[in-house]
Amino acid sequence: MLYLILVPALLLAAYFAASALYFFLFSVASHFYREGSVPDHQAHEKVKLAVLYPAYKEDAVILESAASAQKHLSRLAHMDVHVIADSLQPSTIEKLKQLGVQVVEVSFEKSTKVKSLQRAVASLSPNTDMVVVMDADNLMQEGFIDRLVERMQQGFRIVQGHRTFKNLNTHMAVLDSISEEVNNSLFRLGHRTLGLSASLIGSGFACEYRLFRELIDSAGAVGGFDKELEVMLLERRIPIGYGKQAVVLDEKVQRSDVFVNQRRRWLAAQFVYLAKNLGKAFRKLLREGNIDLFDKVMQFLLPPRIIALGLTALLFALHTIFFLAGYAGWNAFLAALWGGIFLLNSLAVAMAIPRKMYNQSMIRALASLPAGFLLTIKALLRTKGANKRFIHTRHGVDEGEKKNRN
């Protein structure tokens, strides 16, 4: 009877130990990232670039984002800003046109980001060199476009920018901001350091126009279109670059209901693309040595970090209590095992958080970790069917909270 309990426990520990080692490896590697030399700009003509803002019911934020993009200065690109207006108010559309933005009005029975991008890309001039895909709430920082173009001029055909927090107005927003920066360290800085592709986020990235049109015309994702693009790129052995200095601000979730919906969508997409590509990843690894695709699909197997931290801490505490209560046996070993996994996960996360985020706001936000753990469990339990319909994350920071933005 003991072995019926012990064997599953050891298998579970092996899974979380492997994920902790994965996080730790790339967390350490992130500290050795180097961006590379900047190309000689005089040797290049300005590129023709289209900035695409898909906006589904995003009246609250799209005007600010589009106006900011219109004012963005670039030495390396001729920019046009395009807003794909899906279910925007007529007054918002009129104001966008007054800003000089190119407005592509669309309407679908079932809206998705992929459909909006397909319509927008089809409307672009064939002379377009590059596209930059944004979210409706994204704000470019100074030099964003030029830093992306520089990375493209180094030989990449697609480059993910450095997406970071736009607001720190609630504990939930702080936790979401930390999560984003940890992702940047592990899946972008760490991966590029070790010669693997950076991970796409879904916004704030640049791509060759012809390549992007080919990819987006083949896409059909309802949720997680960035994962679909990644698989298509890595299957073709097209590496994804990263621009650490290409900074774009992204609004972080402020409420628990939005957090659950967002994580539910992400987790559902992760499961779908894992099931679709697991066999393919193994075959291409063995036959073609495609490590990049294999690594990407293995990422879909990883547990959410807040689950990894919360569950390992819980099991460590549980086996410690049993041991101290006199139930020795395997409890001492399991307590030490789970404690070690929890410590490794904690070190990986701690090293991946940028120094600038170690402040009082982060310390106060740590009190929300148990709530974040429970909300992620809730999202995990509600993933069924989530990838079959479009789940929209509404944006818009309350005016009273904008003072806390960075």
DSSP structure string for 96-119: HHHTT-EEEEE--SS--HHHHHHH
Q: Which one-letter amino acid corresponds to residue 323?
A: F
* Tokens, residue 361: 């706001």
DSSP 21: H
Is-contact 182 348, C-beta < 8 A? no
pLDDT for position 361: 82
Query: Could you count the other beta carbons within 10 Å of the beta carbon of residue 389?
Result: 12
d(CA 133, CA 2): 54
Instruction: Output the CA–CA distances (angstroms, integers) from residue 29 to 23, 186, 246, 309, in the order listed.
Output: 10, 8, 20, 21
Superfamily of domain 41-269: Spore Coat Polysaccharide Biosynthesis Protein SpsA; Chain A (3.90.550.10)
Which residue positions in the chain have pLDDT lower than 70? 1-3, 39-44, 385-406
Write down the pLDDT at residue 44.
67
pLDDT number for residue 363: 83
Residues of the chain with CATH 3.90.550.10: 41-269
